[in-house]
Structure formats: structure tokens, C-alpha cells
Amino acid sequence: MNTKALQPSFGTFGLRGLANVDLTPQLALEIGLCMANYLGPGKTVVVGRDSRTSSEMLSMAVSSGLLSGGCHVKYVGLVATPALSFAVKNLKADGGVMVTASHNPPEWNGIKLWNSDGSGFSRSQDKVIEGMLLRGELKHVSWSRIGRFEIVEGVPEMYVEGILERVNVEAIRRRGYRVVLDCGGGSACNSSPKLLRKLGCDLKTINCTPDGFFRARPPEPRPENLSELVEAVKSVGADLGVAHDGDADRAAFIDEKGLYVQGDRILALLCLNHFRNRSGGLIVTTVITSSVIYDVAEKVGAKVILTPVGEPYLVEKMKETGAEIGGEENVGLIVRDWVWSREGAYAVALVLELMAREGKSLSELSDSLPKYEQAKLMVRCDREIFPLIKHMVVELVKEMLPQDYDRLITIDGVKAYYGRNWVLVRPSGTEPLFRVYVEAEDKTTLEELKKMGLKVTEDAVKESTDKIKGGLNA
Ligand code: MG
């Protein structure tokens, strides 16, 4: 097979592509072989997968590649991504492979590689694998050194037990919360229902049978995809609604009124909870996260560290600074002494624990935090021009923004804070467009910032495009 023609490339977190088109079993096998060559023969690798129609096929192919390169495979089957991370650490493996495309549509799939400590491969590690793949210099071991294949059952149960050991189960059970859980047919199906039942919840499940077609709803738990969950929360009078993404490293929350609670507010509440009995500490989050994280940090005497968008950056910064907790604006909670993966199920258990301890509903908890207005806009540009002007636009936006900002963050696009209000402009990682994120303490300021953010971005795109086209024509 000629892998060179495929030009596979890794994104912010692993390799993604259309199943059986970009991401074929041949390619999966070669990635397994690369991983085996990277680790060396005799090492043990945990392999897990999500519920996609192509995941069984691809995880078997990855396993073959690993075995062919002399690695032993512990195959854990359908698991949540954080459960894979948990298994790598707890089975004392040397690495892991997870076959999933997370929240992408059903025809997609992806392969993520993991270190022995349960953290995903960094960008530089992915580059090494990408290089091996492109050069195609892959070594098979002799027949006598081929790895052993073992099916390991019970990982979802071990993972659930691990979470139960970390929360106050009795306090949650006493409340007898009524919860509606929507696994969307994804990886959460064999862990989150078990977890919530063990937490004594009166549980109604929807879409909790694995479905590789994601017929009930798309794998991404965005508010517009959760109408069935919202209806169910209202109709049974639930205390909480929960939805996971395809590989359950995220959870979305619906309060007892049937309203979607923004992920950054959940993250802020979980940070508040985390630091309740101690003073000081670090919170690591990405540039997109709401200012509400600063409100919470001030309250508990913690410091906020911002990173570029993407789990590897969060994990890297948490490791570097020793921060105990981190997360994304979509919750994507990471707790240092648990697993080095974003969490879905653990975040759910922690939200219930917080509700139980405070004796408050989720809407009351969320309302206890300052309110912010948010908007997300975009400015499109020519597909061919986009890669050429990406950096120029960011530089121009930096100059064109009103210069009376309090703080300018330039680690991922450009973000200007005006007090608690802010504008962030960043090039999309996947499409030829620039995203403009805006947050303000009131609606009037939000409208002003939206207008300003959009104008400077459009002007910067126009000026950069003209410059490039002028250069090309000269
Ligand atoms: Mg995910």
C-alpha cells in the first residue's frame, strides 16, 4: 500500500477522516505498526473504540498493526475516552489507542494515541508518528515475536467504580435525584447509566443503546441537538438532564427548568467546588472560556492560566504548572489526580455532588455566578487565500482593535480584554474562516463589541486579501 499518496495528517488531537475513504483499515493498520515501532516490541497497548459503524473494523486493524510490530494488545472494546485513559493507567500499559471521531458526524472516524500516564499524544509526538507514516519505514517483527491479543472485559465497570470512590455517594443518594440521561448512542452507553444508578438516581435513559448511525441525534451535544432531552426533563420533572458527545469526554447539562447551562458556567462551578476547602491554586483553561472563570478564581484565590484551544495544550500546561484542575468552555473537565483526559461522566457526578452538598438546584447554582452575554460570529474568506493570510489577519486585527484594552492575549488568535468584556478573533482550524467570539456583561456592550469585532476582522481580511492578490498579480 502506498501511504505516501494518502498524506494523512494529524489535527489538534489525533487523526480524523472519513471512514473507509481517508481512514481505511490499511491506514489504521499502519498507524498501529507506527505505534509499535515508536514504543518498541514487547510493550503493551490498550485499544478501545466508540460506537461508530467503522470503529470495530478500524480498532481490529490498529490491533493487527500493533501485534505485527511486536506489541501486546489489551482490547477493551466500547469505552468512553476517559475510560480508555483510565484503563491505560490502571492496566499499567505502555500506551493506548482510541478509535473515535468524538463529536464528528457518523461517517467520520479518528485515531488518538495515548501515553502510559493516560495522556493523549502531544502535537510533537503526533508529528513523529506522522513522519514515520509518510516515510513508510515500518518494521514488522519475526513470527516468533508477534504480540499477544487479549480481550479485557469490565473496564467500564472499573471506571465507574473509580469515579464512585471520588465523590460523596451517600450525600447524592440521599437526595434521590431524578435525572434524564441522553448518551446519543455513543460510548457513554455502557458506563454513564451504571454510574447514575449507583448514585441512587431515579434515572430515565434516552438513546442509551449504542448506535453507530447516531440516528436519534448528532454526536455533538449542542443545544440545538438536545430538544428530546429538554422535553424529557420537562415531562418527568427531572432535577437534571445530561447529554454526552460521541466518545463521552464531554457532558452537556440541562437544568430543572429545561434550560441549557453553558459549559463554561459548569466548569466554573466545578472549579469553585474543587477549591472550596483550600486557598490558592491554578485553573487552566482555553482562550474561549468565559470571564466567569475569573470571577470564580477571585473568589477562591486561584489564578487562571489561558492556553490555545485543544486538549493537548491544556494537559501540557497542567503538567508544566502543576495545576490541579482545567477544562474547556464545553466543560471538558480535566482533574490532575484522576485521568489525563477530558471528562464526561466524572463531571456529571461532581455536579450532582455539588447540588447535594449545597442543597441547590442547578439553575440556582448557575444563577449564583455573574451573568455574561456571549456571541459567536464568523468572517469567511477564499479557500485558496485563507492559509496565506491567516497570520497577517491576526496581526492586523491586533493593530486595528481599540488600543485601550486591559490585556491582550496572543497565544491563539488575538483576544483583547476590556475589563471583564472581551473580543477574540481566531482562524478556524478546519474551515476557511475567522471566528469572532464576544462576551460582555450586558446586552448593549455585547452589541457594540460584536459590531467592532466584526468590522476589524472584515477590514483585516480585506486588506490582507488585497495585499496577497496584489503580490500575486505583480
Ligand atoms: Mg469527545
- Alpha carbon of 235 to ligand 1 centroid (Å): 28
What is the tens place of the pLDDT at every residue in 126-162?
999 999 999 998 999 999 999 999 999 999 999 999 9
| pLDDT given at position 137 | 83
pLDDT band at 9 (very low <50, low <70, confident <90, very high): low
Helix ranges, 275-327 (H): 292-300, 311-321
Helix-helix angle 263-274:345-358, to 10 degrees: 60
- Alpha carbon of 353 to ligand 1 centroid (Å): 23
- How far is 339 from 177, CA to CA, in rounded Å? 26
- Alpha carbon of 410 to ligand 1 centroid (Å): 26
- How far is 353 from 165, CA to CA, in rounded Å? 12
Q: Which residues are catalytic?
A: 102
What is the tens place of the pLDDT at every residue in 263-294?
999 999 999 999 998 878 999 999 999 999 99
Residues with C-beta atoms within 5 A of ion ligand 1: 102, 245, 247, 249
- Alpha carbon of 155 to ligand 1 centroid (Å): 18
pLDDT above 70: percentage of residues in the chain: 97
- Alpha carbon of 162 to ligand 1 centroid (Å): 20
Q: What is the mean pLDDT of the chain?
A: 95
Q: Is 70 exceeded by the pLDDT of residue 4?
A: no
- Alpha carbon of 414 to ligand 1 centroid (Å): 26
33 closest CA partner among 73, 4, 6: 73
- Alpha carbon of 142 to ligand 1 centroid (Å): 37
What is the tens place of the pLDDT at every residue in 349-391?
999 999 999 999 999 999 999 999 999 999 999 999 999 999 9
* Terminal-residue alpha carbon distance, the chain: 43
- C-alpha distances in angstroms, 248 versus 187, 251, 462? 6, 7, 40
| pLDDT given at position 14 | 75
- How far is 213 from 219, CA to CA, in rounded Å? 10
